[in-house]
Each structure stands twice: as C-alpha cells, then as structure tokens.
Amino acid sequence: MPSPVGHAIGGLVAGWGAAGHAPYPAWIRQALVLVVVGMLPDIDLLFGWHSGPTHSVGAALLAGAIAWGARRAAPRSAYAVTPLAVTCAYASHILLDWLGADTSAPFGVMALWPLTDGYFMSPIAVMPSITRRYWLTGFWEHNLRALMFELVLLVPLLLIVWWTRAVRSAR
C-alpha cells in the first residue's frame, strides 16, 4: 500500500480535479484540506484495524457529507472545500490502496463497506508496498524505492491537474 506522501498527492490530484477554481491564497488552504483528507483513512492505524471501514466508499461518502455540513454551517470559511472534492480526495486513498501491493493480513481494503465487509484487492499491484517493519534489513531502501515510484507516477498527474486548473482560471 502507498506511503502517506503518495496518499497526500493522490488526495490533491483527485480533490483538485473535482474542485472549482480557488484564487490565491484560498487554493493553498484548499490544498491543505485535500492533502489531509487524502491521508485520513489511515487514521485507523492508531486503532489497530487498518484497511477496515475507514477504507470504504461508505467512509468517503461520510467525509463528503461532513464537508457538505461544514460548508452549510460556515459558507464563507477560508477552509471550505466542495463536498465532491472531499469525497474524491478521500476515495483516492481507497483506490490507491486497492491498487497497492498488500503484504499483511487482512489483504486488500474493505472498499464496499457498508454493503459488504469483504476485502478487495486489485489482481495487479500497481503501487509497491510500504513496510512498517523498521527492524528488517533493507527497510529504508525498500521504502525509498517505493516512494520514488509513487512520485514518478503521481507527480505528473498532479502537474496536469494543476496546469488544467491554471488554464481554466485564466479564462
């Protein structure tokens, strides 16, 4: 499964792709929200049940509903981001984990919760795994290679989305 850096970039790519234009400096605050939302599903690591319901479409929709409520409660907030952008940023985490190599049980993500509690994993691992086994030989080298792969894959997507937003806002 991808690193926090990969999830942050993925959240930004997906969220910005769905978000409307935001002028400077609001786009920086928008970016911060989307980066945090892109990493948010891994909050379950603190509780010992990684890849569970927080890694699901249900949780992504809940995140969007919370964003909708926050936007209605404080429509002029500098941190208000469209509910669609929040949902997409959150869902990017699920997609990246589904595409990632998973080396620990339970394998895959509970992507379709609450419809099913089954775990799903792509038959082809596009994203390399990140290991938390710091005591193993090669820990740093493995994770650095995985991070470099994520950057090579995701940064061009980020640049495309950023450029597209810049072109749209210039019109």
> d(Cα 3, Cα 144) in Å, to the nearest integer?
10
11-51 pLDDT tens trace: 999 999 998 777 778 889 999 999 999 999 999 989 888 88
User: Domain count of the chain?
Assistant: 1
Q: CB under 8 Å to 133, separation ≥6 — which residues?
A: 139
Helical spans, DSSP H, in 74-132: 83-99
pLDDT of residue 169: 75
Question: What band does 88 get if pLDDT is binned at 50, 70 and 90?
Answer: very high
Question: What band does 100 get if pLDDT is binned at 50, 70 and 90?
Answer: very high
pLDDT of residue 31: 94
Per the CB < 8 A criterion, the answer to whether 38 and 14 are in contact is yes
Higher pLDDT, 74 or 153: 153
pLDDT of residue 12: 97
pLDDT of residue 106: 86
Neighbours of 77 (CB within 10 A): 11
Buried b (16+ CB within 10 A) or exposed e, 92-106: bbbbbbbbbbbeeee
Residue % of the chain over a pLDDT of 70: 98
Whether pTM exceeds 0.85: yes
Tell me the pLDDT of the chain averaged across its residues: 91
Tokens for 56, please give them: 């699901």
Bridge partners of residue 100, in order along the sequence: 127
Residue 15 has, within 13 A of its CA and on its CB side, a CA count of 33
> d(Cα 143, Cα 160) in Å, to the nearest integer?
26
Q: What is the CA radius of gyration of the chain?
A: 17
pLDDT of residue 153: 97
Our CA dihedral for 142, 157, 109, 55, rounded to 10 degrees, sits at: 120
pLDDT of residue 89: 98
pLDDT of residue 22: 78
Residue 94 pLDDT more than 80? yes
Domain limits at 116?
4-170
pLDDT of residue 78: 63
Residue 10 pLDDT more than 80? yes
